[in-house]
Structure 1
Amino acid sequence: MNFKNLQKTLGVVVDGNIGRSTLTALFKKLGANQSWAEELALASNVHFKDYAILYNELRFAHFIAQLAHESGNFKYMQEIASGAAYEGRKDLGNVMAGDGVRFKGRGPIQLTGRANYKKYGQALGIDFESHPELVATPSIGLLVACKFWTSNALNELADKDDVLSITKKINGGTNGLNDRKANLTKIKGWMS
């Protein structure tokens, strides 16, 4: 697996350096519209290095595969369902009336629950608890995904190629495991 093969697959300049043009082509190939692909690529180009996601191909492949599943192949930055199913979920910090809808899944990692919006907002210096809609902005959502990824030690699990444990950390269970595995296989294949 290597980044040059990914660039060949995407039809971009083959130099082994993952930058905005490669990332834009990747997000677009996975399903994002042009505008979101460009915005996600801009944010990724900055944050992937800061969060050590570009440290190796395995980390990169796992991160992209998981986010592709969570966001419907980068077509949705907000959960399609209303979020009412999360109402009263104390495990998510949804303790006030309307929290389920207000703090439904957003961003490419589908951050969910008042507690997570508060936690990651405080960690990044952005008041997501007062402005949860900000997480649905592709660039901000990508930053949140990076912070979530490293805060939950997912780089280390990616280094072990442990898709099951990564899925459990992101999803709380194994929802969509087969799709996540298929995404991972596809992205690894593009780098082979």
Structure 2
Amino acid sequence: MLTKNLLEKIDISIKWLEPLTKSFSKYSICASEKEDENINELSMFLAQCGHESINFTRLEENLNYSANTLLKLFPKKIKNIEKANEIVANGVVSIANAIYGNRTDLGNIMPNDGWKYRGRGIIQLTGRNNYKFYGEKIGADLINNPDLAREENNACLIACAYWNVRGLTKAAREGNVQSATKKINGGYNGLEDRENRFRKIKAIIENDYNKKE
């Protein structure tokens, strides 16, 4: 179901075919006995990860926010435009530490943890706790070498392990983009793009299947 032809049609490099295929097998992604559920899950996985990483090309979080955007996206952390301007003036490290630093929910309790454990990989893994947990799951020292989360094999393993741990299979197989987005994002940021990606990918897969019949 996951093929070179599909990746090419949705503008994802074919270099991801092998690591994705191996990771899918290891974590039983798209392993339903029902074909329609597998189509939905594959479409959801590629749509969600495609949104998070801009078609698997941005493997590190883009933190080049303007002050206004920073204030809009993180109102609980950034209280006013003056503070936002100050943070932005000090660059991306300052931005990362402002939005992710001193967050016990992410395990970011040490100086510079916000920057060190910023979003990486195709699922944009974020936070010391997640780097430790998923590093142990895939057998990589992400705590001391966080950039390993950007490596293709690791990025796919992390995303698939995350998929299972976060309980995304049910929502994915049902084609519930809103529910899947909530589990990944914690909210609904980028929901429209995620929904559009899901519909587009699913249509391509179904069209290819119909041609075979």
TM-score after normalising by structure 2: 0.74
Q: Which residue of 2 aligns with 1:74?
A: 56
Instruction: Give 1:64's aligned amino acid.
Output: L
Give yes or no for contact 1:78–1:107 (8 Å, CA) kept in 2: yes
Question: Residues 44-63 of structure 1 correspond to what in structure 2 (within 5 A)?
Answer: 44-55=20-31, 56-63=38-45
Structure 1: distance between partners of 2:5 and 2:60:
22
Instruction: Give 1:145's aligned amino acid.
Output: A
Question: Residues 48-127 of structure 1 correspond to what in structure 2 (within 5 A)?
Answer: 48-55=24-31, 56-81=38-63, 82=92, 83-84=96-97, 85-127=99-141
Give yes or no for contact 2:138–2:154 (8 Å, CA) kept in 1: no
User: Which string of whole-angstrom CA distances, capped at 9 and with x for unpartnered residues, describes residues 96-146 of structure 1?
Assistant: 110111000000000000010011111222111111100011221111000
Which consecutive segments of 4 or more residues in structure 1 shift more than 2 A? 24-32, 82-85
1:133 equivalenced with 2:147 (yes/no):
yes
Q: Which residue of 2 aligns with 1:42?
A: 18
Structure 1: distance between partners of 2:150 and 2:7:
16
User: What percent of counterpart residues are identical?
Assistant: 39
**Partner-residue secondary structure (3-state), 1:91:** coil
Structure 2: distance between partners of 1:28 and 1:127:
32
**How many residues end up aligned between the 2 structures?**
168
Q: Which residue of 1 aligns with 2:70?
A: none
Instruction: Give 1:61's aligned amino acid.
Output: S
> Could you list the runs of 5+ residues in structure 2 that have no partner in the other structure?
32-37, 64-91, 207-213
Structure 2: distance between partners of 1:184 and 1:70:
13
Change (3 A) 1:66 1:58: same
Give yes or no for contact 1:87–1:94 (8 Å, CA) kept in 2: yes
Structure 2: distance between partners of 1:160 and 1:26:
21
1:176 equivalenced with 2:190 (yes/no):
yes
Q: CA deviation at 1:54?
A: 2.5
Give yes or no for contact 1:128–1:134 (8 Å, CA) kept in 2: yes
Q: CA deviation at 1:75?
A: 1.5
Q: Which residue of 2 aligns with 1:12?
A: none
Change (3 A) 1:98 1:29: farther
Give yes or no for contact 2:6–2:204 (8 Å, CA) kept in 1: no
TM-score after normalising by structure 1: 0.81
1:151 equivalenced with 2:131 (yes/no):
no
Q: Which residue of 2 aligns with 1:30?
A: 10
> Could you list the runs of 5+ residues in structure 1 that have no partner in the other structure?
4-17
